[in-house]
Structure 1
Amino acid sequence: MNGLLLTDGYKTGHHQQYPKGTEEVYSNWTPRSNKYAPEGCNKVVSFGQQYVIQWLHDFFEENFFSKPKNVVCKEIKEELSMYLGTDYDVSHYEQLHDLQYLPIKVKSLPEGVEVPIRIPMLTVVNTHKDLYWVTNFLETILSTMLWQPMTSASIALCYKRIFKKWALKTDKENLGFIDFQGHDFSMRGMGGLQSALSSGMGHASIFLGSDTLPVISGLRKYYDAEGFVVGSVNATEHSVMCAGTKDDEIGTFKNLMKTYPTGILSVVSDTWDLWKVLSEYLPQLKEEVLARDGKLVIRPDSGDPVDIICGEALEVGGKTPKDIGVVEMLWNLFGGTINEQGYKVLDPHIGAIYGDSITTTRAENICQRLHDKGFASTNVVLGIGSFTYQYNTRDTFGFAMKATSVVVNGERREIFKDPITDDGVKKSAKGLVKVEIQNSEYVLIDQVSPEEENEGELKVIYQNGNFVNRVNLPIIREKLNSCVTQELLETI
């Protein structure tokens, strides 16, 4: 696709609409509100900028600059002339093609840090006076691609906070498990491959468990990931269980354990009757499970996750399987150990995972209920799917890229928006911006001078077709993990 189509239709006339003599347009990308974010998501993770800018650079290289000018500009002239019902002038596009690079400077906060609401995370400004229109021409594609990796990473970090909080209370000797306790199950429910990739990379900036395989390639390409990136285990689906027939479900379990005599094996267990699997089949398979060199993981896949995992009874010792719940039933059958903090940890040969309709609220309730019944929160893995990651929009954190400064005939104009009919969310910064760290927190200072704008925490990552200050995946993960761990250790 012609790179010049990567924008909103109304952008095609904006180069004619700026004041005569416009030389510079300066815009920033900012999360404006967490009104629609999950409870507890009070900040935004800085992640995805390097991916998005490299993708954009590569796309223009392959689909605009590397193609003959007469071909790409003739194509866009024909399309936009029909689209707008006029004889569309493409001379400004021809000038961009002659330049052979995107004339922009992009500055970003470091990836792998948390940013308060209303703090600019990215700025874009044109570097060629005649091509002032390029800044906000790119607003649409930048907005399209930036909001999701940041949103998914931010929500994933909320999950990790939940898991770490409860692990510190119930199983602090097993904190390494937390990296795998939130597992990405979202790919099939996302809005296309690019959505799955950008969201999945956001998840993988926080967790090491993922079934979204494109993440591996994406993180290697855009974040120089080497060696182990994300991992998963051998696991069944309902077609496997159904193919083995309902009458011989126990036989399917036996065959699976023979097929995988070692390692972690996850078996979906509610194809027909979860409680029958737990109360009849597993007792018959107990010796085989305990003799196996690995962990058999029971996976319920329907119902209320909190009640299924923890039981409907609030205390240990319920009368029915529904009262008892999966974790307590596994404990009653296979036992385990009592850790130093006094919480029950299942025998290492058995475990549980739940991956349907999980939310941060349900994750919190599951950990709370397990704690209240005397079980470590680390007895269960939660699959985080599209019910979490696709139920978001650009408005989840109110992301927007807005121009706040222009230069017209050599004179800088500080501009801003502040709609009288709005509740204040849409009010933008004014003029050039600078972000500083004050008392360990990011703070916005707007209406600064060009000299001051060159200072602060926003650093150049791309300028005139060249990348600088690249960051890799291990650095991002280290920053985010150390932040959460230290924060929780200070509060618990």
Structure 2
Amino acid sequence: MTIDTLSRLQSNFILNTDSYKESHYAQFPPGTESVFSYVESRGGRFEHSLFFGLQMFILEYLSRPITREMIDEAADFYARHMSGSPFNREGWEYILERHQGFLPIRIRAVPEGSLVPARQVLATLESTDERVPWIGQFAETAILRAIWYPTTVATISWHVKALILRYLEQTADTLAGLPFMLHDFGSRGVSSLESAALGGAAHLVSFQGSDTVVGVMAANRYYDADMAAFSIPATEHSTVTAWGEAREVDAYRNMLDRFARPGALLAVVSDSYDLERAVGFWNRELRQQVIASGATVVIRPDSGHPPTVVRRTLEQLAEGYGTTINGKGYRVLNQVRVIQGDGVEYASIAEILAEAERAGFSAENLAFGMGGALLQRLDRDTQKFALKACAIRIDGQWQDVFKRPKDDPEKASKGGRLTLLHNPEFGAWRTQRVELPVESGWDEALQTVYENGATQNQQRLAEIRARADEALAMSATG
């Protein structure tokens, strides 16, 4: 497949679906005028999901109209690909002529950065032209993918932030370093550039440290951020081992010469040969240069059992640089810190933080680099996402649509036209049918973000972050 072919496939929305969707236009009951659907997380690893990412999809895909060339390309493909199902050229040409190629659907969604419990409606999708009522369900594949992946990454990142926050509140005098305590190392571990962009941007709802360049660029572009995240000079094993084992200390000294300045941060992976010996170099041969530079040097142990290795590194660095006892009674290293970037995921972060606390070290001594477990080691079932039809209008009358699998009650879906309500005083959420009145104290939580080609209620990263941090504060006090 050439780059040009891949680019065409990405831009042709008629091909951005599952094969069987092409035949669904002929499967709805006679008289069907509209189909109404919803997206939810049915639970999973975490009880709450942090909603994020739909705006990127709308701006990149739904803001691009269907063209006659796209219709022709899709017609040729489906004629050869689908057996016994004529391509719906009439429907797509109607969308082209009547709607200038934009999808006649309405998408409403909870504001991005909202932390919503499982089994609550996160977004709804409704077709708006009775001539093409199938169009919303046709878009299911692309829209669900656009929601579940970045929302799951944002959810993991947010819950890690909540975990680190708890340890900082127990062991540190300040929370100032929290936005930089989980760094995105995931770019090389994902399956595509687009995954790195979507997942990398999702991480930046909760944190401001990243080495996933395309994720930072996506957040800047789609969420109007000036600079969504930051990084620092850091070694990799090749830039250390290129000096050879006999000159390992010279590799570290070169880092100090090149990058150590007053107030600067630099990170140095130190396990290329023998971590304990390398930390000894930092404690002895390089100690005076580190102190004189005014920089903070972050030592990265990168192999072994993470809780044990991190604790040993903290204790060894404490011998070389000393510590200060903070107001909570925990030790804070002078001028050096530790970042763990190997084997990092939610559970191991909890183990490392607990081990550091047991050793008397404040969580502020630590940072984490998370790669595959942040951007790749997840799927749609991590939070059990689904998009389901819940109502249909036939000959002017709305009817409930739902499923109730006898052998799997967990897969039961909701019926009726639905919306989401929020009680800001108590931080509560409730899914409700749209025709029911909204009780006092509850607010309509969904807002229209796309309708018939028009993008609405665009959000900036700053307000999304503020919303996520408000949920973090409520979780900490609640």
> TM-score if structure 1 supplies the norm length?
0.90
The answer to whether the aligner puts 1:55 opposite 2:56 as a matched pair is no
- Residue in structure 1 matched with residue 142 of structure 2 by the alignment: 141
Q: Cα distance, 1:451 vs. partner? A: 8.3
State the match for 1:78 in structure 2.
76
In structure 1, what residue type is equivalent to 2:394?
A: V
**Aligned AA for 1:85?**
S
Name whichever of 135-144 and 429-438 sits farther off: 429-438
How far does the alpha carbon of each residue in 1:31-52 deviate from its partner, in whole angstroms, 9 at most, with x for none?
A: 0121xx2xxx220001112112
Partner of 2:203: 203
* Contact 1:45 1:153 (C-alpha < 8 Å) held by counterparts: yes
Aligned to 1:434, which of 395, 404, 419?
A: 419
Quick one: which amino acid aligns to residue 414 of structure 2?
A: A
Q: Please say if 1:183 is aligned against 2:188.
A: no
Measure, in 1, the Cα distance between the counterparts of 2:205 and 2:257. 35
The question of whether the paired residues in 2 share the 8 Å contact of 1:164 and 1:485 is answered with no
Deviation of residue 445 (structure 1)? 1.6
Shift of residue 450, structure 1, vs aligned partner: 8.5
Instruction: Name the aligned partner's letter for residue 14 of structure 1.
Output: H
Between the two proteins, the alignment pairs up a number of residues equal to: 457
1:357–1:388 CA contact under 8 A, matched in 2: no
Aligned-partner Cα distance in 1 for 2:403–2:464: 33
Partner of 1:306 in structure 2? 307
Shift of 1:486: 4.2
Aligned partners of 2:260 and 2:290 also within 8 Å: no
Q: Post-superposition shift, 1:389?
A: 2.8
Question: For 1:82-481, what aligned pairs fall within 5 Å after superposition?
Answer: 82-86=80-84, 87-98=86-97, 99-100=99-100, 101-171=102-172, 173-226=173-226, 228-262=227-261, 263-280=264-281, 282-310=283-311, 325-347=312-334, 349-422=335-408, 424-438=409-423, 439-446=426-433, 448-449=434-435, 456-481=444-469
Q: 2:6 — aligned with what? A: none
RMSD, matched Cα: 1.6
Is the 1:33–1:425 contact (alpha carbons within 8 Å) kept by the matching residues of 2? no
Residue 234 of structure 1 aligns to a residue in which SS? coil
Gaps of 5+ in 2: 1-8
Rounded to whole Å, the distance in 2 between the matches of 1:225 and 1:388 is 22
2:210/2:216 contact within 8 Å kept: no
Contact 2:71 2:89 in 1 (8 A): yes
What per-residue deviation string (whole Å, max 9, x for no partner) do you get for residues 329-367 of structure 1?
1011110211111110000x2111111121111111111
Within 1, Cα distance between the matches of 2:348 and 2:320? 26
- Are the counterparts in 1 of residues 297 and 336 from structure 2 also a CA contact under 8 Å? yes
Give SS of 1:198's match. helix
TM-score scaled by structure 2?
Answer: 0.92
**Do the aligned partners of 2:323 and 2:332 also contact (CA within 8 Å) in 1?**
yes
* 1:451–1:140 CA distance, 2 compared to 1 (3 A): farther
- Are residues 223 and 280 of structure 1, via their aligned partners in 2, closer, same or farther at CA, if it must alter by over 3 Å? closer
Task: Check 1:15–1:393 CA distance in 2 against 1; reply closer, same or farther (3 A cut).
Answer: same
Equivalent pair of 1:404/1:416 in contact (CA under 8 Å): yes
Structure 1 residue identity aligned to 2:185: F
- Counterpart contact for 2:270–2:300, Cα < 8 Å: yes
Q: Do the aligned partners of residues 281 and 339 (structure 1) sit closer, same or farther apart at CA in structure 2, a change above 3 Å counting?
A: closer
Amino acid at match of 1:341: K
Shift of 1:56: 2.0
Local SS of the residue matching 2:33:
strand
Question: 1:384-422 CA deviation, whole Å, 9 max, x = no partner?
Answer: 111333111001111011000001111211111111111
Cα distance in 1 for residues equivalent to 2:282 and 2:19: 61
Match of 2:3 in 1: none
Aligned-residue identity in percent: 30
* Cα distance in 2, alignment partners of residues 32 and 478 from structure 1: 26
Amino acid at match of 2:50: V
- Alpha-carbon distance, 1:279 to partner: 2.7
Residues 196 and 375 in structure 2, CA contact (< 8 A), matched pair in contact too: no
Aligned mates of 2:283, 2:94 — CA distance in 1: 71
Helix, strand or coil at the partner of 1:176: coil
CA distance in 2, matches of 1:185, 1:238: 15
1:25 to 8, 13, 35: 35
Q: Deviations over 1:164-196 (max 9, x none)?
A: 10101110x320101100111111101211111
Gaps of at least 5 residues in structure 1 are 311-324
Q: Deviations over 1:52-110 (max 9, x none)?
A: 2222213x43xx23xxx2x3323222211111134535111111111212101110111
Structure-2 separation of matches of 1:440 and 1:339: 34
> What SS does the corresponding residue of 1:382 show, helix, strand or coil?
strand
1:425 offset after TM fit, Å? 2.2
Distance in 2, Cα, partners of 1:359 & 1:72: 42
1:45 aligns with 2:50: yes
Q: Bigger shift: 382-391 or 189-198?
A: 382-391
The 2-side partners of 1:163 and 1:111 are apart by: 22
* Residues 104-163 of structure 1, C-alpha deviations (whole Å, 9 max, x = no match): 111011111100000010001011111101100000011122111100111111111111
Residue 27 (structure 1) shift: 0.5
Task: Report the Cα distance in structure 1 between the residues aligned to 2:90 and 2:398, rounded to whole angstroms.
Answer: 26
